[in-house]
Amino acid sequence: MGRSVIVHENFLRRVTAGDLPAGRAPSGPLPPALAVSLYRSGCLTRHLDRTSRAMQAAGTGFYTIGSSGHEGLAAVAAALRPTDMAFLHYRDAAFQIQRAEQVPGQTIAWDMLLSFASSSDDPISGGRHKVLGSRALFIPPQTSTIASHLPKAVGAAYAIGAAKRHRPEHAILPDDAIVYCSFGDASANHSTAQGAFNAAQWTAFQSIPMPLLFCCEDNGIGISTKTPRGWIAATFANREGLKYFACDGRDIYDTYATALAAAEYVRRRRKPAFLHVRTIRLYGHAGADMPTTYLPKAEVEAEEAQDPLLHSVRLLSQAGALTPPEALEIYQHTADRVTRVAAAAVKRPRLRDAAGVMASIVPPARACRPTNGPTTAARAAAFGGDLRAMEEPQIMSRLINWALTDLMLTHPEIVMMGEDVGRKGGVYGVTQKLIQRFGPDRMIDTLLDEQSILGLAIGMAQNGFVPMPEIQFLAYLHNAEDQIRGEAATLSFFSNGQYTNPMVLRIAGLGYQKGFGGHFHNDNSVAVLRDIPGVILAVPSNGADAARMLRECVRLAREEQRVVVFLEPIALYPMRDLHEDKDGLWMRRYPDPSEVIALGEVGVTGTGEDLAIVTFGNGVYLANRALTRIEAAGIRARIVDLRWLSPLPKEGLTRAVAGCRNILVVDETRHSGGVAEALMAHFHETSGAQLARSTAEDSFIATGPAYAATMPSAEGIAEAAISLAGNGSKNRARGKA
């Protein structure tokens, strides 16, 4: 017999017999009507779990992680406001059900059953996942990667204070809201979680508002691995700046009183707190998991004897709020109701095809207030002497700095965050003077933790900001890439476009830095960014393009709610010359702020039809250097700058190479998993041209004289071009003769 049946039968038998578990008498501020409401939410939670299992057995439901044993979380919900954004642990159905009581017009059982049934009517994910969440209840859905939601909860909490100072157009959290974030006891150990606790403490330590209530639901186990007894209290009770509260989650009176005190502390003091709720886990971890395979049966039974619903029946009876027979009636009535509603829910339509599944990968566009751009006076005040320098060609890092300045002047909701972006102005000076121009509120020098930087950005985006986080070097994105891959990129997908976290992530990267860094600072792989559905990856090759592309990136984030990665080639930041010293050919004038390069618009220089060199970033620079030799060999070439690496601008590429007999792909990223693989496949499928590629080796990058030895060079490009197109051009010449 499954444990859910055993627990159900125990409940019926013990309530009927008046055989209720012992415990503390009810006390504290929980009023009788609310106590009954919490019990009702607990019953609904329980029956939704039971029905979910039945649906899976019948093939009408698909996933059965449950909330049984964690019903006490309803009392935590009741202690909060429904506008306190809640980033929930997957066992928090009781929380969501109780929150629905606080908001008129909710049909919570129906909504959750639609989600269990993976119906496309499911109001939160549109049938993409059985997931908790609701737009009306301020509960963004969470991915199943444990702990990855904690960094953004820190960001959202920070965003409440930031929005109080400068409220962005699309802010949704009230000034006096707090953020709530729950997780399991095993998850509390995850380095991502630890980073988030630390980031919250680090922030609060500086008296910066951090109204964040962490909640650890401690059922003593993670799948089959026990949390050492006492560990959560031992490690969290005395943390700097993180006030600790503890309660027994089986006792709704204790839980409500403690959660109320914790919420009050966070709301008034604007400081973080840690609420430790002792719970139990009924029915094992999920699905077919049988706890008796790794725990002694007696232990499982002892846990089941502590069923929180049995405790609630006792407490309600002792408080005079509800008699056991009344409690039993509610329990059974709820069971009947859930069965009835489920029978209707399983008949609702489901997603069937790829287009349906994919419809929410790209978030919907949103209406934004029109912006006029900064006044001449505002620009003069911000740029000062730089305005005169704009008359002359400049290096890329400077042009990016100016583009950022104009964008921040135009859009007050832009905020930058990263290691050393503020006072120092970035490792390469790209964000210099921005802190003087816009203040520390908009130029946030963060702590040294990439997950926290991206979490801050994601959380702020959820409260209407347009964050532009910076990762100092591409190699250090990998510390935190799940914040983009598993978090930022998926939010629109499985909230059916209802929650978004638009941003422009700036990363300094790629190779060719002479004499600096080796493989740490010259990471030349973008594979981890290119395969994330919905994420846009842009790489400029010169300063003017960088400025124009950045403007489009901000528009894409602000108006179309996209997650954009803007990868800046470090080696091109200071590049002045192309062929020889002081020729100044790689500098550009600052393009007028109205000039934009649209997503998908590729760059083409030259009109030659013998050869198209298709490349990006440093490759564009190298191809331009190689051009003299290529042309001297009688080959008429054009250079195509991809600019937008992902999604691949297929139409633009096809137009750019039209009429070319040969295509040479030059790719500074690695041979395996590099951009060339996609480009070769695209041209193979769409063009009759002869193809060749020149890519980096499958190697890390060395420092010292061999710094560029593993990557394409101007000489190598010229040789590859001549060997590919040399004959072609001779043929053309012969044909014409």
Ligand X SMILES: Cc1ncc(C[n+]2csc(CCOP(=O)(O)OP(=O)(O)O)c2C)c(N)n1
Q: Which does 146 bind (CB under 5 to 8 A by kind): Mg ion, ligand X, none?
A: ligand X
Q: What is the 3-state secondary structure (H, E, C) of 117-131?
A: CCECCCCCCCCCCCC
Asked whether position 4 contacts Mg ion by CB under 5 A, the answer is: no
DSSP string, 542-584: SHHHHHHHHHHHHHHHHHH--EEEEEEEGGGTT---SSSTT--
Task: Spell out, one character per residue from 52 to 91, where the chain touches Mg ion: x when CB under 5 A holds, - when not.
Answer: ----------------------------------------
Task: For the CB of residue 218, give the shortest distance to ligand X in the complex, in Å.
Answer: 8
Range 5-44, binding Mg ion (CB under 5 A): none
The nearest distance, CB 494 to Mg ion, in angstroms, is 23
Exposure of 244 by Cβ count < 10 A (0-12 exposed, 13-18 middle, 19+ buried)?
A: middle
Strand order in the sheet with 179-184: 86-87, 179-184, 212-218, 273-278, 243-248
**Shortest CB 588 distance to Mg ion, Å:** 56
Least Cβ distance, residue 72 to ligand X (angstroms): 13
Contact 319, 254 (CB under 8 A): no
Residues 252 and 45: beta-carbon distance below 8 Å: no
Tell me the closest approach of the beta carbon of residue 239 to ligand X, in angstroms. Answer: 19
Binding range to Mg ion, per CB under 5 A, among 56-64, 181-189, 353-361, 602-610: 181-189
Residues 6 or more apart from 35 whose CB is under 8 A from it? 26, 252, 253, 315, 316, 319, 321, 322
Write b or e for each residue in 159-182: b if 16 or more Cβ atoms lie within 10 A of its Cβ, otherwise e. bbbbbeeeebebbbbeeebbbbbb
**Number of C-beta neighbours around residue 658 at 10 A:** 12
Binding segment toward Mg ion, per CB under 5 A, in 184-192, 208-216, 391-399, 492-500: 184-192
Size of the site for Mg ion (CB under 5 A): 6
Among positions 184, 469, 509, 674, the unique one binding Mg ion when judged by CB under 5 A:
184
What, of Mg ion, ligand X, none, does residue 433 touch, CB below 5 to 8 Å by kind?
A: none
- The 3-class SS string of 301-319 reads HHHHCCCHHHHHHHHHHHH
Nearer to Mg ion, 232 or 351 (CB): 232
Pick 186 or 321: Cβ nearer Mg ion:
186
In SS3 terms, 6-33 reads as: HHHHHHHHHHHHCCCCCCCCCCCCCCHH
CB of 150 to ligand X, least distance (A): 12
Report what 5 binds from Mg ion, ligand X, none; CB cut-off 5-8 Å by kind: none
Stretch that binds Mg ion, among 116-124, 177-185, 244-252, 308-316 (CB under 5 A): 177-185
Four-CA torsion 177, 165, 491, 197, nearest 10 degrees? -70
Which residue lies nearer to ligand X by CB, 42 or 425?
A: 42
Residue with the two structure tokens 């063009």: 687
Cross-strand bridge partners of residue 350: 119
Site string for Mg ion, 196-235 (x = CB under 5 A): -----------------------x-xx-------------
Instruction: Note the residues at the interface with ligand X (CB under 6 A).
Output: 91, 144-146, 184-187, 217, 219, 221-223, 281, 285
CB of 256 closer than 8 Å to CB of 78: yes
Burial class (CB in 10 A: 0-12, 13-18, 19+), 656: buried
Site string for Mg ion, 621-660 (x = CB under 5 A): ----------------------------------------
Query: Based on CB atoms, which residue is closest to ligand X, 186 or 417?
Result: 186
Per partner kind, with CB cut-offs from 5 to 8 A, the member of ligand X, Mg ion, none near residue 211 is none
How far is the C-alpha of 69 from the C-alpha of 64, rounded, in Å? Answer: 14
Shortest approach of Mg ion to residue 274 CB, angstroms? 16
Query: Reduced to 3 states, what is the DSSP secondary structure of residue 184?
Result: strand
Closest CB to ligand X among residues 74, 680 = 74
Q: How far is the CB of 249 from ligand X (least distance, A)?
A: 11
Q: Which residue has the tokens 């802190």?
A: 435
Measured from the CB atom, the residue of 151 and 511 that comes closer to ligand X is: 151
Residue 132 or 362 having the CB closest to ligand X: 132
Binding partner of residue 560 among Mg ion, ligand X, none, CB cut-off 5 to 8 Å per kind: none
- CA 703 vs CA 513, 519, 706: distances in Å: 9, 7, 6
CB atoms within 10 A of CB 573: 22
Closer to ligand X at the Cβ: 24 or 226? 226
Return the residue matching tokens 């209720």. Answer: 20
Name the residue number minimizing CB distance to Mg ion: 184
- Closer CB to ligand X, 250 or 661, in the complex: 250
By CB atoms closer than 10 A (0-12, 13-18, 19+), residue 13 is: exposed
In whole angstroms, the minimum distance from the beta carbon of 65 to ligand X comes to 8
Q: In the complex with ligand X, which residue's Cβ is closer, 218 or 568? A: 218
3-class SS of residue 529: helix
* Nearest distance from C-beta of residue 282 to ligand X, angstroms: 11
Give whichever of 91 and 99 is closer to ligand X, judged by the CB atom.
91
C-alpha span between 401 and 409 (Å, rounded): 12
The yes or no reply on residue 185 touching Mg ion (CB under 5 A) is yes
Q: How far is the CB of 242 from Mg ion (least distance, A)?
A: 20
Cβ nearer to ligand X, comparing 91 with 562 = 91
Partner from ligand X, Mg ion, none binding residue 145, C-beta < 5-8 Å depending on class: ligand X
For residue 181, the minimal CB distance to ligand X (Å) is 13
Closest to ligand X by CB, 222 vs 674, is 222
Residue 647, preceding peptide bond in cis (omega within 30° of 0): yes
Dihedral angle over CA of 421, 424, 430, 431, nearest 10? 50
Angle between helices 376-383 and 396-410 (to 10 degrees): 140
* Under rule CB under 5 A, residue 303 binds Mg ion: no
Among Mg ion, ligand X, none, the one that 223 touches (CB under a kind-dependent 5 to 8 A) is ligand X
Smallest distance from the beta carbon of 221 to ligand X, in angstroms?
6
Of 145 and 198, nearer to ligand X (C-beta) is: 145
Judged by the rule CB under 5 A, the positions of this chain that interact with Mg ion are: 184-186, 219, 221-222
